[in-house]
Structure 1
Amino acid sequence: MKFVVENISKSSGRLGHLVQAETGKRFRTPLLVQTTKAGSIPYLSREVFDYITKETPALQFSLSTINHMTESLKLFNGTIGAYVGYPECLSLLLVRDTCTTTPSGHNDKDIMPLFTRRGKEMLTATSYMDAVEVLKPDIYQGLCDADTNLDSSKKRITKSVDRTAQFMDLCYERHQNSTVLNNSGLFVPIVGGYSTFARSDSIKHAKAKGESITSGYIFEGFHNNGLSATEVDVEQLLKVMTHSLNELNVEKPKMMPGAYTPPAMLELISLGVDIFDTSYAYCAATNFKALTFNFDLTKTESGNCSPFLDITTDSLKEDFTPLLADCDCLTCKKHTRAYLYHLYNTKEMAGPILIMIHNLHHMMKFFNTICNCIADDKLPDLVKLVNYQGHDAALDYSIKLNTKAISRNDQGKSFTVAKDDQ
């Protein structure tokens, strides 16, 4: 895997390409990778996803949702992308599921907890690298202790950095000695919570031990995944990221996994972050929210004050307009708000499918616009539009759990489990 920087905007942001080692396919950055669960894009089959885009996708797999596939993949003797029906995709392997909140605690000296559908499993650096060699992703992250957030203590942050360094020592060794991973890129984790001092320590270890074999960097430990990523303190986040990016190799790609809000993504792209995932679109869909924020610089007039539409709102039951005017996704072309409200009320599985189609389409068009704005040196204008949507005050893009429709115990399990059914 290679990364090529093609253009750096005068104002902010940069354009580049990730180049797949074996095929030479190019994936434009800033890149939005498709989050998967158990190897599939949530709610969508391959055929349905083809209605959204015909472009070759970049897929993000999490070991916590596919670890049960490793035995079958040993017999398959192919890549994880080919195994799940996307042989041409760019595959990225993470440890944790960015769509679901990761429980805190359960950490030990030489192991880290892996929370799977079968329960908690203990992962060592050796067993992790064994799994990576079976899955054969184009890019994979190094094993790390990312159990930190804004409220983490200094002791917890220090342990996070120390344990990550210990894990990565073995990962570096295995990566260098592995013939299977010759074409796989290693993204080194940078941890340390919201402490600039701890982040610097993590970066120092990454430079000292893995500078020559590192393909990129992945920033972990700002949140506990799931909805918590939509509520991060952006001001504190940008302070830490500005400090960290100044200490890293500019030419290597940087990734920020998690459901960061669109305004947060734009600010991070302005700093030089290159890769994000679609977990924000998923978190919105599972909480019955269709994305409606405006990112068209030719339409800056004031509109609705909300960046998304709550499908469970009773006022929609006789609203026969599409989710978003002028949207050309399959959902908006074929169906109305009233129909989606009906699907929610009747607990039909077509509901999450149609909302996910719209949300992914919306996010993908958003990232196309980002790339065009960087090329035209208009990213600051886009940042202002997305943040304010033509109003005086910045909008709140965080996603709250929709307890009217889904209980806390069932979050992430099923789109259609209603609270009154418990």
Structure 2
Amino acid sequence: MAPLLFTVLNNEISLRLGRLSLASKILDTPNCILNTVRGSVLHLTPDNLRLLPFQAVGITLEQLYPASLDVQPPASTKFPGGAHEFFNLQEYLLYFDIHDPVKQVKARINSDKFISVRTHQGIRQLTLANYLLYMNAYKPDFFAAFSDSLIQKNHGDKRVQKSVDRTLKWLDDTLDRMEEDANVFGMLGGHNIREERVRSAQETVKRNVAGFVLNVSDIGDTSEERLDLLRTSLNHLPQEKPRLVYGLGTPGDILRAVSEGVDLFDTSYPSEMADNGHAFTFKFATDSNVSDVTTLSINLWDKSFARDFQPFVTSCECHACQNYTRAYTHHLLIAHEMLASVLLISHNLFVYGRFFERIRNSIKMKTFDEDMRQFLLRHEGQAQIEHSMKHDVEPKRKTDY
């Protein structure tokens, strides 16, 4: 593995532009990593994928993990050239994690020796030794460390403390066993206990990790609570390393997290919306500030689109909008045709990728605060603005928790 380099391109403490690079592969941040199902972006062929503005793909190990414990290792680890060659993703930055950030194991039982993973034939056990064996075989560009992650909303103090202790021990073992230039992202824990979130962040920073992963999918009851807990961890991380966050996908949450210094996100939200028949209609900055569109998406299941022969978004340059209509996609959904999913996911991901491009341009042009204010005002209303823009008047305090 070659070393993954991260460069902060501006001087802002939290609202920052960055660049991840490994050899000739470059990923400008803020940005997102494409979610996959067994190494493929859902509903898309590699040719479809290359029409979208993305440079990084994420793969979940548990989707490849053998259902039978006596079958070791997964067949895909035996392919020469690693995961890039096996999944035909040579030109992308490839990221591995153990768990699917969308479909978590709700009844997860972990111990000092293993963690539970979901396979297509039930729950199985994964040890650290096997995980590192697979990472050496797949040769991803960067991967998440082995961790005792908690996904239920309520846990006692002792269970959370044990989770942080286990994760730190496994991180030490990982760094000892892997090659020096392995790009390991430390998993931050602490769940909803602020003192443990601070301890997890401060201890992980002491290790030689390439970046950090934070999962806020199952903590807090509202976006505000999740962002507040996320901020507790972010305040203790160094500026020179990237931060990847799971569980924040809506445009408003993305903008708020970017304003707090988050660099990378997952793409579960566009996929979930496409699966529900929704096509994105939002834009950020530039021409979106004069748009009268206040909806984030349209529901193509609605009968009102049966005779609507417009594209999803008139000005969109994606393949679906250039060649198909709302009426046709509505018909495909009613007929349960797979092409509907192909069109919706390709459109949503295209819009999502352009959304991040415009975020980066807005930061570069130093108009992000006003662009964000206008976007939230248009799509969420005045009630959400004060909380979202708190970073304008409240400086970051590294001791806050």
Q: What TM bracket, shorter-length normalisation?
A: 0.7 to 0.9
- Correspondence for 2:191 among 181, 190, 193: 193
Which consecutive residues of structure 2, in runs of 5 or more, have no partner in the other structure? 67-71, 385-401
Distance 1:256 1:305 in 2: 27
8 Å Cα contact 1:34-1:60 kept in structure 2: yes
Distance 1:351 1:342 in 2: 9
Distance 1:389 1:43 in 2: 32
Local SS of the residue matching 2:282: coil
Local SS of the residue matching 1:37: coil
Deviation at 1:207, TM superposition (A): 3.5
- Correspondence for 1:59 among 40, 57, 69: 57
Closer/same/farther in 2, CA of residues 205 and 394 from structure 1, 3 Å limit: same
> Is structure 2 residue 21 aligned with structure 1 residue 24?
no
> Is structure 2 residue 92 aligned with structure 1 residue 94?
no
Closer/same/farther in 2, CA of residues 390 and 343 from structure 1, 3 Å limit: closer
Partner of 2:212: 217
Which consecutive residues of structure 1, in runs of 5 or more, have no partner in the other structure? 396-422
Local SS of the residue matching 1:219: strand
Distance 1:70 1:394 in 2: 52
Deviation at 1:339, TM superposition (A): 0.7
8 Å Cα contact 1:94-1:141 kept in structure 2: yes
- Correspondences of 1:5-404 after superposition (within 5 Å): 5-9=8-12, 13-20=15-22, 23-53=23-53, 57-68=55-66, 70-148=73-151, 150-175=153-178, 178=179, 182-208=180-206, 210=207, 213-220=208-215, 222-224=216-218, 233-301=222-290, 303-389=292-378, 392-393=381-382
Deviation at 1:184, TM superposition (A): 3.1
Closer/same/farther in 2, CA of residues 232 and 378 from structure 1, 3 Å limit: farther
Closer/same/farther in 2, CA of residues 303 and 166 from structure 1, 3 Å limit: same
Distance 1:25 1:67 in 2: 28
Distance 2:149 2:371 in 1: 31
Deviation at 1:343, TM superposition (A): 0.4
Local SS of the residue matching 1:198: helix
The amino acid of 1:169's aligned partner reads D
Distance 1:342 1:305 in 2: 25
Deviation at 1:325, TM superposition (A): 2.2
Deviation at 1:360, TM superposition (A): 0.4
Local SS of the residue matching 1:217: strand
Closer/same/farther in 2, CA of residues 374 and 70 from structure 1, 3 Å limit: farther
TM-align CA RMSD: 2.3
What is the percent sequence identity of the aligned residues? 27
Closer/same/farther in 2, CA of residues 110 and 72 from structure 1, 3 Å limit: closer
Q: Map Cα deviations across residues 242-281 of structure 1 (whole Å, 9 max, x no partner).
A: 2322222211111102352221111111111111121111
The amino acid of 2:217's aligned partner reads H
Distance 1:101 1:71 in 2: 20
8 Å Cα contact 1:33-1:277 kept in structure 2: yes
May I ask how many residue pairs the two structures share in their alignment? 376
TM-score by length of 2: 0.87
8 Å Cα contact 2:106-2:151 kept in structure 1: no
Closer/same/farther in 2, CA of residues 259 and 341 from structure 1, 3 Å limit: farther
Deviation at 1:105, TM superposition (A): 3.1
Q: Map Cα deviations across residues 8-50 of structure 1 (whole Å, 9 max, x no partner).
A: 348x511111111xx3332111122111110101110011122
Local SS of the residue matching 1:169: helix
TM-score by length of 1: 0.83
The amino acid of 1:216's aligned partner reads G
Q: Map Cα deviations across residues 84-127 of structure 1 (whole Å, 9 max, x no partner).
A: 01112111111111232432432333221101223211012112
Deviation at 1:394, TM superposition (A): 5.7
Local SS of the residue matching 1:201: helix
Local SS of the residue matching 2:96: strand
Closer/same/farther in 2, CA of residues 87 and 77 from structure 1, 3 Å limit: same
Deviation at 1:359, TM superposition (A): 0.3
